[in-house]
Amino acid sequence: MFRTRRLLTSAFIFAVLLTGVPSCLPAQTNSVLFVADRFEPVKGAISVPSTPTERSAAFSLLERALQNSDMHMTGTAPFHLDATFNTGGNVNYAGLGQLTETWLSGKSWRWTARLGSYSQIQIGYNGSTFAEKKTPIPLRIQMLRNAIFWPVRLNSAAEIRTAAVLWNGKPATCLLTSGMMGLATTTQTRLWEETEYCIDNASGLLQVYSIAPGSYAVYEYANAQFHGHIVPDRIMFVINGATVLDSQIRITDAGSVNASMLTPTQQMIANGPAITLRAPERFPIEIPSASINGKTYPVIILASIDVSGNVLEEELASSSDGALVQSALDLVRKTTFPAQGEQRQAYINVKFTPVSQGTY
């Protein structure tokens, strides 16, 4: 029986990894409730847009934040970005680091990174990506790049709920999105499956991005205008209640760029295609357990997965039961996921379920 359930789960995982977050899964409200920690902006009073107009207004707010944060869209003015940061946590690389990017267009760019003993240079040249070294990128560097350049992902077909909050004393709206269809309107707490965007009502600027409970990217702005964009000057990451990344960011016009800086060396070309980074994703793994009764107990694990599907780094984001954390970490670490050809930053919802409940 257990073998059959695991086979079903593996097939489901494979489908999710190929297509991203499922767009039409039935809502499962049988999980124990997520208990908001002190970093969670939403602590109650959650509503579901009841009319097309209300739903459109919610997605318009998200679109506004996306348009401001997307620095790689066609037509963006060439820029040079420099980020210095300090990282911690139980990961392979931590300490002081630096990230830079010079961007002229989608076919002409260069980024560099340093963190501890790790360093890397990648160059985009005529639609191809080349790297100084064909080595995996540390999780903290991938997290920061994703938080700077791709924090907002818009899916107009997603389920959405909203909550009015005060953030730094100003009115903001938190949008809770998921692929879970038919959400119960009476659930006045964030669901384990929901991704959260908190956006300032007046400015339309993203304040908090939480792809999964327990993981929060917090944005601060000095109102520095860059060709119609307001770029954050600080981004902090809180994972499982601890600040694991704190960055200072500065952006300027690219100015005159030496062509050799944006041209791959012969060694880069000989290295072959570079390891590219995918935007953050999340998916579930169900673990039927005879020791679990009544409710499902989720544990969210943040993992870096290499191009072959092997787990490089992992850490706990949040848990409904501390006694299940080590089992979830062990499971994720030992799992080989379907190869996707890109390095992934994945939030994995390990769901310990009663044996009688089955999988979806």
3-state secondary structure 127-171: CEEEECCCCCCCHHHHHHHHHHHCCCCCCCCCEEEEEEEEECCEE
- Domain spans of the chain, in order of start: 2-36+278-354
Q: What is the pLDDT of residue 10?
A: 40
Model pLDDT, residue 18: 33
Cα gap 163→123, rounded to integer Å: 41
CATH number for region 2-36+278-354: 3.30.1150
Interatomic CA distance for residues 106 and 60, integer angstroms: 26
Q: What is the largest CA-CA distance in the chain?
A: 65
Lowest mean pLDDT among 144-153, 242-251, 305-314: 144-153
| Residue range 257-274, pLDDT digits in tens | 999 999 999 999 999 999
Residue 23 has pLDDT above 80, yes or no: no
3-state SS, residue 60 = helix
Quick one: pLDDT at residue 293? 82
Q: Are 164 and 195 in contact (CB under 8 A)?
A: no
Residue 227 near residue 359 (C-beta atoms within 8 A): no
> What integer pLDDT is reported at residue 26 of this predicted model?
46
- Among 42-51, 86-95, 184-193, 195-204, name the one with the lowest average pLDDT: 184-193
Length of the chain: 360
HSE (side-chain half, CA atoms, 13 Å) at 62: 25
Residue 152 has pLDDT above 50, yes or no: yes
Number of H helices, E strands in the chain: 5, 21
Task: Tell me the torsion sign for CA atoms 49, 284, 323, 292.
Answer: positive
Q: Per-residue pLDDT averaged across 122-134, rounded? A: 96
pLDDT the model gives residue 158: 85
Residues 6+ apart with CB under 8 A from 320: 31, 32, 34, 192, 297, 298, 299
pLDDT at 184: 53
pLDDT at residue 68 above 80? Answer: yes
- The pTM is what? 0.89
Of the pLDDT bands very low, low, confident and very high (cuts 50, 70, 90), residue 223 is confident
Given this model, what pLDDT does residue 310 score? 97
Reported as a pLDDT band with limits 50, 70 and 90, residue 124 is very high
Q: What average pLDDT does the structure give for the chain?
A: 89
Least confident of 7-21, 23-37, 274-288: 7-21
Residue 291 pLDDT exceeds 90: no
How many Cα atoms are found within 13 Å in the side-chain-facing hemisphere of 28? 20
Distance of CA 350 to the CA centre of its chain: 17
Structure tokens belonging to residue 241? 């209640």
pLDDT at 196: 97
> How sure is the predictor about 183, in pLDDT bands with cuts at 50, 70 and 90?
low
Instruction: Give me the half-sphere count of Cα atoms (radius 13 Å) on the Cβ side of residue 10.
Output: 11
Helices (H), 228-274: 266-271
191 residue type, one letter: L
Radius of gyration of the chain (CA): 21
Share of the chain above pLDDT 90, in %: 76
**What string of DSSP letters covers 37-52?**
-TT-S--S-EE---SH
In degrees, to the nearest 5, what angle opens at C-alpha 303 toward C-alphas 199 and 142? 60
